[in-house]
Amino acid sequence: MNQLALHPNVYATGQNKGLVNILEDVWVRNHRPGDGTLFVVSGFGNYNGGVRFYETFKEHTRRGGRITAVFSGSTRSRLTSKQVVHEMLGCGADVHIINRKRLLHAKCYGALTDEGNSLVVTSGNFTGPGMSQNVELSVLLDRETTASMQFSWDGMVTALLRQNWDYHRPSLGDLAAPAWRLLYDEQAAELVLDDSAEVTMLLRLSHADTARINAAPGTNAGKGSQYFWLSKDCFDFFPPLTIRNERGHKATYSCLVTMKYMDIGVEDPNCRVTFEAENNLDFRLGTGPLRYRGIAAAGDIAAITRTGEATYELRIFREGTRQFERLREYTINLIGHQGKSYGFVNNSDFEGLTGVHLQRIASRRGAPRIPTV
DNA sequence: GGCACTGGGTCT
DNA sequence: AGACCCAGTGCC
């Protein structure tokens, strides 16, 4: 069925409230791994844009399916990252990079199987922001519709690649090839956070988030990892989740950040953010230093402030305090089934609402910014 | 000891 | 089946 969504969570004609959900329709729910070809066309691309689907893609090509991806590249602008292209190639995709003074700015995704062409036309890039917190509009056209309008993926991609443009085909076999110079390193040390990404996540905690925080040492309630469970709509709040698990058989994608626990004066340079790609799709923030501290209970707000590309400050605001009441109205996204909610506020507003003083990272004038498209 | 893993649960 | 919720085990 055709459907349209203005996301995240603004308006939708169908069940799917976001672009990732719509793509799950096309690539997971209504697709058998190995069937036909999956398509990704996007002007911009970064690692977290695809992290939900890398396992899906691998299974698809392992069973004989194909994947065609087309991204924009440039030596001057940060359009598509080396990390996402590397991962897509590892998934078995054919990746085409278009280097053009006026960039390919189209975004569409879909699948071609014996049953027809599914097409998602969207403003959302294949990036964390495009898939998460940017306001984007997406339309899914089903196989009947694409047939009636005589759309075919083969026709469009053939026409796209037939243009007299500067095309490159990066490969894992030659990482020094010119194609890779059209891609940027999203983990480069000199990249600094864009102003618009200097935001604070406000998360109302639930029982599972705080059980270990309130456990008595030595009891069963304190066993296991201390996490905050996050919404998957928050991929763009964290650095690229490029670290793969080493033991275990279920794929996870994680990254390490520096977390400053302002309430207890602890700084953890190895705070792990994990996407459990093959275990319930959990998205978890490891907060081990809070164990046994008793400083947060269900209902309280955890404020997680991004002060740099991989540096955060965490503060707990207890329910009932004046600061809590001011912050609560920002936790507008209702998730889960235990009353959890979350939201974002920009860092200056957060300082005004709470009176806290953030330890800002001095951002160098003219330093290259992390794209937020 | 702590946390990467595991594998369920529950509601929608 | 998705998306948070939950309670550990056992490896490092």
A24 CB less than 7 Å from any atom of strand C: yes
Of A81, A121, A61, A51, which is closest to residue A275 (Cα–Cα)? A51
pLDDT at position A362 is 64
Task: Output the pTM of the full model.
Answer: 0.94
Task: Show pLDDT as tens, one digit a residue, over chain A (373 residues).
Answer: 899 999 888 899 988 889 999 999 999 999 999 999 999 999 999 999 999 999 999 999 999 999 999 999 999 999 999 999 999 999 999 999 999 888 899 999 999 999 999 999 999 999 999 999 899 999 999 999 999 999 999 999 999 999 999 999 999 999 999 999 999 999 998 889 988 899 999 999 999 999 999 999 999 999 999 999 999 999 999 999 999 999 999 999 999 999 999 999 999 999 999 999 999 999 999 999 999 999 999 999 999 999 999 999 999 999 999 999 999 999 999 999 999 999 999 999 999 999 999 987 766 678 889 899 9
Residue nearest to nucleotide B5 (CA to C1'): A248
Distance from first CA to last CA of chain A, Å, rounded?
A: 28
Straight-line distance from CA A282 to C1' C3, in Å? Answer: 8
Pairing, β A253-261 against β A311-317: parallel
Of A40, A47, A42, A68, which is closest to residue A124 (Cα–Cα)? A42
Of A320, A309, A321, A310, which is closest to residue A356 (Cα–Cα)? A321
Cβ-contact A243, A255 below 8 angstroms = yes
Q: Which CATH superfamily is domain A3-182 in?
A: Endonuclease Chain A (3.30.870.10)
pLDDT at position A181 is 97
Straight-line distance from CA A338 to C1' B10, in Å? Answer: 10
The residue ranges of every structural domain in chain A are 3-182, 195-354
A103 CB less than 7 Å from any atom of strand C: no
pLDDT at position A10 is 87
Cβ-contact A142, A25 below 8 angstroms = no
Straight-line distance from CA A221 to C1' C10, in Å? Answer: 17
Straight-line distance from CA A50 to C1' B4, in Å? Answer: 23
Residue nearest to nucleotide B3 (CA to C1'): A225
pLDDT at position A54 is 97
What does the alpha-carbon distance between residue A159 and residue A153 come to, in Å, rounded to a whole number? 10
Of A96, A122, A97, which is closest to residue A109 (Cα–Cα)? A122
A102: number of Cβ within 10 Å: 6
Positions of strand C less than 7 angstroms from a protein CB: 1-12
A101 CB less than 7 Å from any atom of strand C: no
Straight-line distance from CA A254 to C1' C3, in Å? Answer: 18
Cβ-contact A130, A124 below 8 angstroms = yes
What does the alpha-carbon distance between residue A329 and residue A98 come to, in Å, rounded to a whole number? 44
Positions of strand B less than 7 angstroms from a protein CB: 2-12
CATH number of A195-354: 2.40.330.30
What does the alpha-carbon distance between residue A60 and residue A220 come to, in Å, rounded to a whole number? 41
Straight-line distance from CA A73 to C1' B6, in Å? Answer: 41
Nucleotide nearest to A248 (CA to C1'): B5
What does the alpha-carbon distance between residue A188 and residue A202 come to, in Å, rounded to a whole number? 28
A198 CB less than 7 Å from any atom of strand C: no
What are the structure tokens assigned to A117, written together?
């062409």
